[in-house]
Amino acid sequence: MTTLPETTAPLTTDDDLSVWPASTTRLTGGDLAVGAVPLTEVAERFGTPAYVLDEGEVRDRCRTYRQVFPDGEVLYAAKAFLCRAMVHWVQEEGLGLDVCSAGELELAVTTGFPPERIVLHGNAKSPRDLDTALRLGVGRIVIDSASEIARIAALVGPHGHQKVLVRVVPGIVAGGHEKIRTGTEDQKFGLSIADGSAQHAIVRILDQPQLELVGLHCHLGSQITSVKPYLAAVRRVVGLMSRLHKQHSITLPELDLGGGHGIAYRPGEDALDITTLARRIRAELAGGCQAAGIPVPRLTIEPGRAIAGPAGIALYRVLVVKRTGSHTFVAVDGGMSDNPRPALYGVRYAPRLVGRRSLAGPETVTVVGRHCEAGDVVAADVPLPGDIRPGDLLAVPVAGAYHLSMASGYNLVGRPPVVAVADGRARLLVRRESLADLSGRDIGL
C-alpha cells in the first residue's frame, strides 16, 4: 500500500484536472496520484512509455451506463481497449460485449465471459470470425452486407439457429472527424435505408429459417458530442421498423443504436451527456413507436471510448528538447507506435509535467515522438513549463481508448505495458512487448 504525502499545491488556472480520472489527486513536489498511486512510482516500477488504467474509473463509468439505461442493454465496445482484466471488470459490472474479430471473441470467452452476451460486428467478417462465433455460441451477429446472409446461413446449417441484426445506414452526418463518420451514405459500413438495400436484405433474411432477425443496428460514428444525431437516427430507424411491420407483419424486438459517445480530451472541450442522451432517446423511441403503432423495442448501446478513454493515462520520459527557430520540440520515448490517433485524426491532448514542481512560466511547445516520421506528433502547440528538460516525466490523460488497441510495431520499439491502479496498489495487466517477442515471429532466415 502506497502512503501518499499530503496535498499542498493550490489550484491554479493552468492546473485543471477535469479530464483526469476522478481519483486523481495532487501531491507535493508536482506529482499526481491516480487510484492513490503516484504516477512517478508507476514510471519507476514499470518504465516508460506506459499506459496507466484506473480500475475504479472504468467500473464507475460502467455503473453509470447501467443506471441511465436501466431497461436497455449496454455492450462494451471491445475495440476501444481489451485485455483479460477489462473483460472481467465489464462482466462484473453487468455489461455485455461488442467484438469485431475472432481474436477479441476468443479472448473474452476464454476469460469466462458468457458468449450469449456477446455481439459480433464487422463490415468484412472473415471465415475464421464467423466459424469462431458459431462454434462459441455468440449471442447475435450483426449482418453488414447482403453477401453475409448466405454465408452465415450456410455455416449455421439447415437445422441450426442464429440470432442476427441488420446494420442500417440512416444517412446522418455525425462524428468528430470524417474518418470516423459511419452513418452517412457512400462509406463501407451497413446497408442503406435510402436506396432500399436494407429492406432487400431484411426480406432475404426472412427467407432463411435458421436465421432469426431480432432487430436493427445503427452506428453513426465516433466522438459525437450532441444528442441530436441520435434522435434523428431513432426517427429514421423507427420509420423503417414501421414499414416492415406493415409490409411483412414483423415486429422487431431490438434496436441497437451503437456507440460513439464523445468525451473531452482537453479541459473545456464538449462531451456527450449520457444522462440527457438516455432520457431523450427513450422519449423519442416511445413517441415514435406509439405514433407508428408498433411495440417499443429493447434499446442497446455500445460505449467503448466513453468507458475506457478517461480512465487511462500515458506516461512518457522526455528524451530531447530542441529549439528550432520559433518552435520548441519536446521529444519523448514513445509516439505514433503507441498512439497513432494524432496522426490519423488530428486528436489534441493536454500533456502535463509530473514528478517535479517547476517555477518557470509556460512555453508553447510541440510534444513529438521518437519515430522517423514528421507526422509523429503527440501533442501540438501545448503549454509546458519553460524549463522542460530531458528526464522529465510527462503524463497524457484520456489515453485509455484506441491507444494499445491501435499500437504498432513501428521501428520495433515494442508496445507499452498496461498497469492498473486501484486503492493504492499498481499491478501489471499487460506486460511490455520485448525484442524477444518481436524477433520470435521472424523465422525467415
**In the 3-class helix/strand/coil scheme, how is 362-404 assigned residue by residue?**
EEEEEEECCCCCCCCEEEEEEEEECCCCCCCEEEEECCCCCCH
pLDDT tens-digit readout, 32-91: 999 999 999 999 999 999 999 999 999 999 999 999 999 999 999 999 999 999 999 999
pLDDT tens-digit readout, 142-185: 999 999 999 999 999 999 999 999 999 987 765 654 544 454 55
Domain over 25-54+310-440 is classified CATH 3.30.420.40: no
Domain over 55-308 is classified CATH 3.20.20.10: yes
Is the pLDDT at 20 greater than 80, yes or no?
yes
pLDDT for res 173 = 65
pLDDT tens-digit readout, 209-263: 999 999 999 998 888 999 999 999 999 999 999 999 999 999 999 999 999 999 9
What does the alpha-carbon distance between residue 219 and residue 118 come to, in Å, rounded to a whole number?
17
Q: How many residues does the chain have?
A: 445
**Residue found under cell 453509470:** 64
Give domain limits for the chain: 25-54+310-440, 55-308
pLDDT tens-digit readout, 319-338: 999 998 889 999 999 999 99
Same fold, 25-54+310-440 and 55-308: no
Catalytic site positions? 372
Q: What is the reported pTM?
A: 0.93
Largest CA distance in the chain: 73
Those residues whose C-beta lies under 8 Å from the C-beta of residue 340, and which sit 6 or more positions away, are 406, 407, 408
Is the pLDDT at 203 greater than 60, yes or no?
yes
